[in-house]
């Protein structure tokens, strides 16, 4: 595959809303999509309003009857073709996202590999999404699944490739049509999907409308012809989206924040500690810490604490901080100045509370003057501290020493989130009992972030409602309809003639 450079990305100079398989002219206000590290303008993007949202919803509404009528095999064929086209563009998309979001190209490439898996998974799953039936007296009961119609979907900026696939794939596989709003902080690779969508799907099946959350996003969630809403982002905005759905009595699925515990038991082998340290480092620092599933609370048992912390400090200090286009930086820049200032404020809070182990400083990277780069930062703290309780969304790890198992569980569950968790142990009882008692939708034993296609992805408490990434997601995008058929009409009994 060609190794694309930043100046060889074939971007449009301006992106209008993608509706009916074409980009609409940009006639109103725009916002600049800029490189997170250099501040360079990569393209201008339409700041769409309720008018563009309505145009997209009407397009999706027109396309829905024919798309719903297609067989699962026909919908699957479109998704398979789309997956192939996305796969052919990975080397280009990875650079677009690296510039747009600020993450390293080695990570953004993995995003789009996972996205391709999602499209193919739901292409296959569409052919197995069946109802059920059983006999009843003088007949048969059939329960079938039917798509909702137009789905309004809103995605965040941190992993655009993955987020677009998580929303588009199950919705269209189940027979719905889509209006997708990408985040204004990172929307270029999502807008670029329009070129491939037009080659694979009938007009109106997938529409993409960029804009600000309070404008385009609000118009989408409140539109009377949107039959289902799906949102990924912060709990604060999730509440607003949920309220919009409740106001119109339409189903809403939410994937929100996290403050995930990662637990190390003392029974791990000495030879395995370096491996665990490496996985802990990755689990907390991937995506530059800007991930809802990052293992940002590390619980290390007192019996191995000092040895473990020495190795963890050395591991963090080996991480290279570099430009996003570096072939293999392990840590790059945050998405924006706003996010950088947020992370800086939490680092300042952690320093004031004490317990800094390593890092804590902003880093300058040559040629990336606009970027907010930070050293990998580790604090020793307690579970009730702000840095252990609040989602920072940056390369900051809180380490907590533990002795008592029941207190460990209380602390691990003692946050408002419940998205993911990790466990390291050589003891099957520890693994199973702890996984069973953790309030988390995803628990990974001995390998953090062990995502597999088909594994449910969703959370407890304020981490969201519903599961993505799995066969169950198709149910989330469909109604259940019951049809009962009798082979003969019952004798009159309610008000029979004399």
Is 255 considered catalytic here? Answer: yes
The 10 Å Cβ neighbour count of residue 360 is: 18
3-state secondary structure of 338: helix
Phi, psi for residue 208 in degrees, rounded to 5: -130, 120
Query: What does the alpha-carbon distance between residue 162 and residue 112 come to, in Å, rounded to a whole number?
Result: 6
First to last CA, the chain: 84
DSSP H or E segment with residue 77: helix 72-88
Per-residue DSSP letter, 388: H
**Is the distance from CB of 429 to CB of 448 less than 8 angstroms?**
no
3-state secondary structure of 429: helix
Beta bridge partners of 298: 262, 399
Structure tokens belonging to residue 493? 């009994």
Angle between helices 105-126 and 160-173 (to 10 degrees): 10
**Is the distance from CB of 189 to CB of 97 less than 8 angstroms?**
yes
Catalytic residue among 48, 151, 292, 470: 292
Catalytic residue among 215, 255, 391, 462: 255
Angle between helices 90-101 and 72-88 (to 10 degrees): 70
Q: Which residues neighbour 482 within 8 Å (Cβ) at sequence distance 6 or greater?
A: 141, 142, 143
Is 368 considered catalytic here? Answer: no
Q: Where are the beta strands (DSSP E) in 303-361?
A: 356-358
Q: Which residues are catalytic?
A: 255, 292
């Amino acid at each position: 595959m060609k190794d694309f450079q930043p100046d060889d990305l074939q971007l449009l100079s301006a992106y209008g809303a993608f509706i009916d398989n074409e980009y609409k002219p940009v006639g109103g206000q725009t916002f600049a999509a800029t490189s997170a590290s250099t501040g360079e303008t990569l393209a201008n993007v339409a700041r769409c309003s309720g008018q563009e949202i309505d145009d997209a919803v009407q397009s999706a509404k027109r396309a829905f009857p024919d798309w719903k009528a297609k067989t699962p095999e026909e919908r699957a064929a479109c998704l398979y073709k789309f997956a192939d086209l996305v796969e052919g563009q990975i080397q280009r998309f990875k650079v677009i996202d690296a510039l747009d979001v600020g993450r390293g190209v080695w990570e953004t490439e993995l995003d789009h590999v996972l996205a391709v898996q999602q499209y193919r998974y739901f292409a296959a799953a569409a052919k197995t999404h069946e109802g059920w039936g059983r006999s009843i007296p003088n007949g048969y009961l059939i329960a079938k699944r039917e798509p909702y119609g137009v789905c309004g979907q809103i995605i965040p900026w941190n992993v655009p490739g993955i987020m677009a696939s998580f929303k588009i794939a199950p919705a269209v596989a189940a027979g719905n049509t889509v209006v997708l709003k990408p985040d204004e902080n990172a929307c270029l690779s999502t807008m670029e999907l329009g070129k491939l969508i037009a080659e694979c799907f009938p007009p109106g099946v997938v529409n993409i409308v960029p804009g600000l959350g309070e404008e385009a996003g609000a118009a989408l969630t409140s539109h009377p012809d949107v039959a289902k809403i799906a949102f990924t982002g912060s709990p604060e905005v999730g509440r607003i989206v949920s309220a919009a759905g409740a106001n119109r009595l339409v189903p809403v699925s939410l994937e929100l924040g996290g403050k995930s515990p990662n637990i190390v038991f003392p029974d791990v082998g000495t030879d395995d500690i370096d491996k665990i340290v490496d996985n802990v480092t990755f689990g907390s620092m991937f995506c530059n810490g800007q991930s809802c599933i990052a293992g940002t609370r590390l619980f290390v048992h007192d019996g191995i604490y000092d040895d473990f912390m020495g190795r963890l400090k050395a591991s963090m200090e080996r991480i290279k901080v570099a430009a996003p286009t570096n072939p293999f930086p392990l840590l790059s820049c945050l998405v924006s100045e706003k996010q950088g200032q947020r992370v800086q404020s939490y680092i300042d809070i952690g320093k004031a509370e004490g317990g800094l182990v390593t890092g804590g400083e902003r880093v300058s990277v040559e040629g990336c003057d606009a970027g907010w780069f930070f050293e990998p930062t580790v604090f020793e703290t307690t579970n009730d501290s702000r840095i252990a309780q609040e989602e920072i969304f940056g390369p900051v790890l809180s380490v907590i020493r533990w002795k008592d198992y029941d207190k460990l569980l209380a602390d691990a569950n003692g946050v408002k989130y419940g998205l993911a968790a990790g466990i390291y142990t050589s003891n099957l009882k520890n693994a199973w009992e702890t996984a069973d008692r953790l309030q988390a939708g995803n628990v990974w034993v001995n390998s953090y972030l062990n995502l597999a296609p088909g594994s449910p992805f969703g959370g407890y408490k304020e981490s969201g409602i519903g599961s993505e990434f799995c066969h169950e997601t198709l149910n989330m995008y469909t109604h259940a309809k019951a049809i009962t058929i009798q082979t003969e009409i019952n004798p009159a009994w309610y008000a029979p003639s004399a």
